[in-house]
Amino acid sequence: MKIDSQISPSQASFQQNQAFHLQQLGSFQSLLASIQNGDTAAWEKEHAKGKLTARERIALLIDPETQFLELSTLAGYELYEDDVPAGGILTGIGQVRGRTCMIVANDQTVKGGTYYPITVKKHLRAQEIAEKNHLPCLYLVDSGGAFLPKQAEVFPDRDHFGRIFYNQARMSAAKIPQISSVHGFCTAGGAYIPAMSDQTVIVRGTGSIFLAGPPLVKAATGEEVTVEELGGADVHTKISGVSDHAAESDAHGIFLLREIVAHLGAHKTAPVRLQAPAEPAYSPEEILGVLPTQISKFFDVREVIARIVDRSDLFEFKSNFATTLITGFAHIEGIPVGIIANNGVLFSDSALKGAHFIELCCQEKTPLLFLQNITGFMVGKKYEHEGIAKHGAKLVHAVANANVPKITVLLGGSFGAGNYGMCGRAYDPSFLFSWPSARISVMGGEQAANVLLTVKNQQLARSGKQVSAEDEATLRSTIHAKYEKEGHAYYASARLWDDGVIDPRATRSTLAKAFAATLHYEWPETKFGIFRM
């Protein structure tokens, strides 16, 4: 049933919202551009060596007239004293010879392509997405290995550098292709990326693979050797067998990589019934006029859905029951999806409705889309007595165990247990994206200030004192500023709490690419745990 929008672009409120968000997006787009345009001088140095940059390699790799779904562009933003644009590594989904692939490309212009802690985390997240969705992994290697000053945060732990190779081994065993092309240095532990790949390309003259470079070899053994003699293309394609294909240039290396993908075998696909894509009845551009200027202000999430789904059609489930949670069936670029969207605070009946709907989608193998804008579950004596904790737990159970693809978009607030019930990061969504307007924290800054102020007053009351008006103002200001900073979408994305901040107007196209990436394997059956009655 087509959603009948109640919003018109001619309304003053629409125009006010739109103007506000266009201004906000201006700074967002400038930030993205500064990251994606890179260091011009560093790019020129790579070109002088006869090399392409990471972004240029990806542009050659993906099929013409297709788009690369870049992930986590803000990784590392204001995270270190050093500037580490995009975390020093590019990851994302691309079509290569008609095959959907995960692409991981070291950016040699950022600290020599070395791995900071966030670089490792971003690389591992890319592999996690690839493993979950059975996507071939294409590694464009040009890296100096671990960033040594932060080795304690990169090397020894479970989810540090070594996990990259563990993942390669596990995915190869699961018949998920692992393919590398070496365009520059590939040293120390990083040498295992091509060595553990199913097939490897190395570029003559610029690509090199070795566990220890010439300086370390000389220090350890006294042997003097050049880079090419130690680990160049001829060494590894004619003598060691570490690499399978020698390329004469970066572009030739990318050509060979595309040829390898072209000769991969067939793969199983998901049991979904696709339909012909159709544009929404309302333009996605209008989302900026739907979204209020203040996160605390209510808006009907159906207005967003109407500008995302095919034909603006949403077949609602339980439309008259538990109306603070919208559930229903729709299509995005022809892909069937079950939508769970916040339209207010979660009550017990909201949780039950959501759990029921998730069961239906798992039964019918329908992917799930969660649209988050949630302050949390309703609190208070009445609701606790009614068992909101156990009813909320049913929703959490259902979300945690659903074995269909789950994609989450944070539109506005994502607070407290509402984040859990609506498939936050801890609930293993296939992808999670944020709008610049999103805010994520255990609670809002104002609520946190009130809680901490109450606790402080209770402590002082034991000695007959109370917080002064001046101290109260200082506490509120400090807590509010802290929560505003740490709850901001950029702060979250810099730490990979999501897979990227996206322009709200690009939500439909982003979701279409992301859902398409989930359709390349047979999803396992869902088994639910015990639902407390």
383 versus 430: which is more confidently predicted? 430
**Whether the Cβ atoms of residue 164 and residue 193 lie closer than 8 Å to each other:** yes
CB 399 within 8 A of CB 423: yes
The CATH number of the structural domain formed by 40-262 is 3.90.226.10
Rounded average pLDDT over 107-133:
96
Q: Identify residue 457 by its one-letter amino acid code.
A: N
pLDDT at 174 over 90: yes
The position carrying tokens 């269909």 is 404
The pTM score is: 0.95
Residues 349-368: tens digit of each pLDDT: 999 999 999 999 999 999 99
Of 345, 311, 343, 315, nearest in space to 328 by CA: 315
SS3 content of the chain, % helix, strand, coil (to 5): 45, 20, 35
> Could you give the CA distance from residue 424 to residue 322 in angstroms, rounded to a whole number?
21
The amino acid that residue 286 corresponds to is E
CATH number of 1-37+270-438+501-533: 3.90.226.10
CA distances from 491 to 98, 156, 192 (A): 35, 26, 32
H/E element holding 434? strand 431-434
For the cut 90, the answer to whether the pLDDT of residue 48 exceeds it is yes
Q: Per residue in 278-289, pLDDT tens?
A: 999 999 999 999
Residue partners of 23: CB distance under 8 A and separation at least 6: none
Q: What is the mean pLDDT of residues 297-317?
A: 97
The DSSP secondary-structure symbol of 432 reads E
Give the single-character DSSP code of 115.
B
Contact 287, 405 (CB under 8 A): no
β-pair partners for 415 = 441
pLDDT of residue 213: 83
167 has pLDDT over 90:
yes
DSSP, res 187: E
Q: Select the more confidently predicted residue: 143 or 451.
A: 143
What burial class does residue 180 get, using C-beta atoms within 10 Å of its C-beta: 0-12 exposed, 13-18 middle, 19+ buried? Answer: buried
Q: Using the predicted structure, report yes or no on whether residue 300 has a pLDDT greater than 80.
A: yes
Structure tokens at 293: 């200027």
DSSP letter assigned to residue 524? P
**pLDDT of residue 9 exceeding 80:** yes
The whole-angstrom separation of Cα 504 and Cα 283 is: 12
Whether the pLDDT of residue 271 is over 90: the answer is no
Three-state SS for 273?
coil
Average pLDDT, the chain: 93
Report pLDDT digits (tens) over 468-508: 888 778 888 888 888 889 999 999 999 999 999 999 999 99
Any residues with CB less than 8 A from the CB of 511 and at least 6 apart, and which? 308, 332, 369, 407, 409
Residue 137 has pLDDT above 90, yes or no: yes
CA atoms within a 13 Å half-sphere pointing along the CA-CB vector of 140: 34
CATH 3.90.226.10 domain position(s) in the chain: 1-37+270-438+501-533, 40-262
